Amino acid sequence: MVSQVLRKSEKTEERPAQRPIDMVHLSRQSLGDPGLEEEILRMFDQLAAAYVGRLRGAVKDDDTLLSLHSLKGASAGVGARAIASLTSEAEAEFRLEGKLSGERLADISMAVEEVRTYISELLGD
């Protein structure tokens, strides 16, 4: 899968840093197994949407922190660096201020949607 993405990016002159997911990182995480890459991407797609939903509906501080932390870890693991960065900042902000701003949640939601769209296009869904 990574080789397909890299070949496609050569044709469109897209630089790897512009992709919502670091496919080289994902390949390393999956030991170069394309089937495992696909499975990881599909699971992340579902998890990311679920965590954003949990963030939107969180009532308790612990629920917010757990969702932010979980999304941060899952994003870092799959190579979705923008989401990992946004959730890391949001987690630190929440610990200091005790709240998650609507703007911060919107930023995370947009980054998740961008990654989910990328995954859908990549997998041909």
Whether the CB-CB separation of 52 and 109 falls below 8 Å is answered with yes
Cα separation of 27 and 8, whole Å?
Answer: 16
| Count of structural domains, the chain | 1
Cα separation of 111 and 99, whole Å?
Answer: 20
pLDDT computed for residue 91 by the predictor: 97
**Confidence band, pLDDT 50/70/90 cuts, at residue 37:** very high
Is the pLDDT score of 10 beyond 50?
Answer: no
Is the pLDDT score of 100 beyond 70?
Answer: yes
pLDDT > 70: what percent of the chain?
Answer: 86
> What CATH number does the domain containing 86 carry?
1.20.120.160
For residues 19-32, average pLDDT: 95
Q: What is the pTM of this model?
A: 0.85
Cα separation of 73 and 33, whole Å?
Answer: 21
pLDDT digits (tens, 9 = 90+) for 42-96: 999 999 999 999 999 999 999 999 999 999 999 999 999 999 999 999 999 999 9
Cα separation of 101 and 117, whole Å?
Answer: 24
21 DSSP assignment: S
Amino acid at 54: R
State the CB neighbour count (10 A cutoff) for residue 120.
12
Structural domain span for residue 11: 2-123
pLDDT computed for residue 18 by the predictor: 79
Whether the CB-CB separation of 51 and 71 falls below 8 Å is answered with yes
For residues 8-25, average pLDDT: 68
Amino acid at 25: H
Whether the CB-CB separation of 115 and 20 falls below 8 Å is answered with yes
